[in-house]
């Protein structure tokens, strides 16, 4: 009985996936996942990403957000060729190379990875940090809420260490237990805070994104030489 129900669920998911307009668009436009369109909508809503910036993509695998950043930094919006800007992608998982994107594999909380990141940044503060990180969910609400909160807290801590005073963080969160505390964390950390659920997020998904702009006084990294 359980197996039959599981097969129905799998068939329904496959049907939704194959008929999803964002999946079709990703295949047509060469993005590694439909997630690229979530960042695209957020960028278009808040005008966060511009050529010439320094961007860090946390939890970057499989790479759709890095691909979107790459195209925004390319003079013609191209997937290859000249690049006006710096993109550093980090993940503990493997990452298929993207032209012009520097990938650092490992946990960004570890000293070795932090040192490699510092070397790549070479003293430059970061314009934008994006994080599509999500934990493996257990189905136990209290446990899952704690895992989600932990990843958001890590992204905020990272952003406050590296962002310019006017820099921005885009971070995945989930509605449910603990969400209001994450909004409070953002409001305590950034001058402007905007929640957004892109149309590209599935209707059934509890995911939303928190955008924090301008680390609060004393929390941003001053630009070197200024």
How much is the pLDDT for 36?
A: 96
How much is the pLDDT for 224?
A: 43
20 annotated to a ligand binding site: no
Cβ neighbours of residue 57 under 8 Å, at least 6 residues apart? 65, 66, 69, 87, 88, 89, 90, 101, 130, 131
Which sequence spans correspond to the domains of the chain?
Answer: 1-30, 32-215
Angle between helices 36-46 and 64-73 (to 10 degrees): 40
pLDDT tens column, 4-31:
656 655 665 454 556 788 899 889 998 9
pLDDT confidence tier of residue 201, bands split at 50, 70 and 90: confident
127 annotated to a ligand binding site: no
Say whether 197 is catalytic: no
**How many CB atoms within 10 Å of residue 187?**
14
* 131 has a pLDDT exceeding 50: yes
**Cα 49 from chain centre:** 13
- Mean pLDDT lowest among 1-5, 107-111, 113-117, 175-179: 1-5
Distance CA 171, CA 28 (A): 26
**Cα 25 from chain centre:** 20
Mean model confidence pLDDT for the chain: 88
91 annotated to a ligand binding site: yes
63 annotated to a ligand binding site: yes
What tokens appear for 199 in the block?
Answer: 């149309």
Mean pLDDT along residues 200-213: 89
pLDDT confidence tier of residue 135, bands split at 50, 70 and 90: confident
H helix count then E strand count, the chain: 7, 7
The catalytic position among 38, 40, 164, 172 is 172
pLDDT tens column, 47-95:
999 999 999 999 999 999 999 999 999 988 888 888 999 999 999 999 9
**Four-point Cα dihedral 57, 62, 66, 67, nearest 10:** -170
**Which CATH superfamily hosts domain 32-215?**
Vaccinia Virus protein VP39 (3.40.50.150)
């Amino acid at each position: 009985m359980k197996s039959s129900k599981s097969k129905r669920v799998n068939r329904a998911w496959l049907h939704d996936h194959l008929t999803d307009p964002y999946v079709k668009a990703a295949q047509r436009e060469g993005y590694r996942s439909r997630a690229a369109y979530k960042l695209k909508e957020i960028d278009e809503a808040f005008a966060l990403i511009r050529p010439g910036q320094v961007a860090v993509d946390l939890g970057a695998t499989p790479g759709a957000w890095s691909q979107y950043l790459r195209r925004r930094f390319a003079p013609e919006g191209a997937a290859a060729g000249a690049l006006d800007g710096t993109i550093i992608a980090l993940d503990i998982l493997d990452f298929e190379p993207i032209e012009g994107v520097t990938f650092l594999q490992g946990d960004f909380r570890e000293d070795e990875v932090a040192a490699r990141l510092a070397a790549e940044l070479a003293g430059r503060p970061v314009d934008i940090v994006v994080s599509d990180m999500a934990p493996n969910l257990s189905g136990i609400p209290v446990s899952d809420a704690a895992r989600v909160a932990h990843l958001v807290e890590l992204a905020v801590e990272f952003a406050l260490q590296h962002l310019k005073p006017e820099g921005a963080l885009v971070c995945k969160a989930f509605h449910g237990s603990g969400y209001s505390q994450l909004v409070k964390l953002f409001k305590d950390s950034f001058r402007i805070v905007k929640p957004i659920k892109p149309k590209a997020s599935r209707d059934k998904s509890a995911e939303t994104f928190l955008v924090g702009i301008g680390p609060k006084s004393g929390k941003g990294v001053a630009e070197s030489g200024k």
